[in-house]
Structure 1
């Protein structure tokens, strides 16, 4: 029965990671509601603001999403006028995603969100960076 301690919720790393992810994502909601996008759509847009014209497969790799999850997200963003999907001329199997003018305007509005989230959480930038680096280190071990 000594192994039953390993099953206590308080001894799990997965639980606080799950809760913090859920809570931080929730903090984004009011800011993203103002932009009429969801958190997953925000993640897609951030990738495209950094690298416009990416293939759907590249976006999926960066977000750890399969095409079955990503395609509906992209369709909704396209319906809102923030992106445009185009088949690559050289290889029509490849779909590339481009930011529209509305998507660029959205970027201007979204620029304030990271600072607002940081202020809402109320931890130092150093703690924020340390947490991100620790999580990234664990993630890189899992990916191997």
Structure 2
């Protein structure tokens, strides 16, 4: 089922990269472990452990692992990103955002938007609206 906010984990081995493409939904990328970089246009921007990267919808990008790394990605529908930035950048993290990412990383129960899973997704969205943001 399609939800306004969905989450998944991604593991990349050293020197591996994702395809360079536009995503139809905005993405929030947490680097859980390791080092990576994101390619936007002809520029590469570093991601270190704990980085929280915002990629708006239709942003042409790719991710590259500079070492073995683990990422957690939240994909947000256009209908819920109205108040969030329209360009790529870094959000500051918080203990609550980090705890939500860890909890959702291997979520073992039913993923219902009306239940706990949906409440955690909405909590991430609420927290982002109050975090500081720096453009790339």
Same fold (TM over 0.5): no
Structure with higher strand content: 2
Q: Bigger radius of gyration, 1 or 2?
A: 1
TM-score (norm 1): 0.24
**What is the TM-score of this pair, normalised by structure 2?**
0.25
Q: Of Structure 1 and Structure 2, which has the larger fraction of its residues in helix?
A: 1
Structure showing greater relative contact order (alpha-carbon pairs closer than 8 Å, 6 or more residues apart):
2
